[in-house]
Amino acid sequence: MTLRKALACALGAAVCAGLLGTGCTPEPRGTSSQGTPAPGAAPARTAARPLPGVGPALRARVPAAARQAVVVRGTTEDGNRARVVLYERGADHGWRAVAGPWPAHNGLRGWTRDHEAGDLRTPIGVFTLTDAGGRLPAPWAKLPYDEDPDFHAEGTGHFGESLEGSFDYVVAIDYNRVPGTTPLDNTRPLGEEKGGGVWLHVDHDGPTNACVSLSEEHMRVLLRELDPAKKPVVVMGPEAALAQ
């Protein structure tokens, strides 16, 4: 190495050592020396928001294709009152509330992870929503809708309240049923002992056998909003179970 080249290398090393920690090392492309995006750089992508209050166990069971989720959040494992919120998922922002919260009732004795016919508890879990129906017409419903006089409720509920009109509007919860059929279909793939006929339906001012009930107004909103193209699901259970 010539004397001139040696002196140049020594001088360069000294300058870099003197500037170490003040910008001598190359900056990542797209950032300024303060770590902020350089002019014209694409903004950093924020993490998509998960379903609020839903923990990893149930979150993992929500299908990747689902872009609508009805979250039914009960009070306690043995409680029969709940709150319902409709969420939608976008590619950029994740899940966000689009309707609710609304008051609701669930099974008289609360919730269960192992539903049995007649236990008066609502099943905990994530279930698809594919079919709707009712005694009244709903031409604005997006889900396949079966208007049928057999959606007739009579008698009284657990607190003596009238059940009249409870099935004017229903959305079938795909627990122990065949998706793509009317909610009136009685086929039980898991067996009769595991119950069935678990619906979202019109509230009758009292707890249900296993369904989730909302006011007629809020059922109408759900029927307008639930869209089969968005693969809707219901995520339901008491607050503590949802958070796991």
Contact 148, 184 (CB under 8 A): yes
What percent of the chain has pLDDT above 90? 79
Structure tokens at 164: 């009249």
- Judge if 119 and 235 occupy the same domain: yes
- Judge if 32 and 119 occupy the same domain: no
In a domain, 50, yes or no: no
Task: Report d(CA 135, CA 167) in Å as an integer.
Answer: 6
In a domain, 193, yes or no: yes
In a domain, 49, yes or no: no
Sequence-ordered list of residues with C-beta below 8 angstroms from that of 30, at least 6 positions apart, any chain: 37, 38, 41, 42
The boundaries of the domain holding residue 105 are: 56-242
Q: What is the per-residue pLDDT for 223? A: 98
- This prediction has a pTM of 0.80
- Judge if 27 and 61 occupy the same domain: no
In a domain, 112, yes or no: yes
What percent of the chain has pLDDT above 70? 81
In a domain, 51, yes or no: no
In a domain, 79, yes or no: yes
11-15, 160-164, 165-169 — which is least confidently predicted? 11-15
Q: How many domains does the structure of the chain reveal?
A: 2
What 152-157 contacts at long range (C-beta under 8 Å, 24+ apart), as own/partner pairs, is 153/204, 157/204, 157/205, 157/206, 157/207, 157/208
In a domain, 34, yes or no: yes
Q: What is the pLDDT of residues 80-108, one digit of tens each?
A: 999 999 999 998 889 999 999 999 999 99
Q: What is the pLDDT of residues 165-188, one digit of tens each?
A: 999 999 999 999 999 999 999 999
- DSSP summary character for residue 58: H
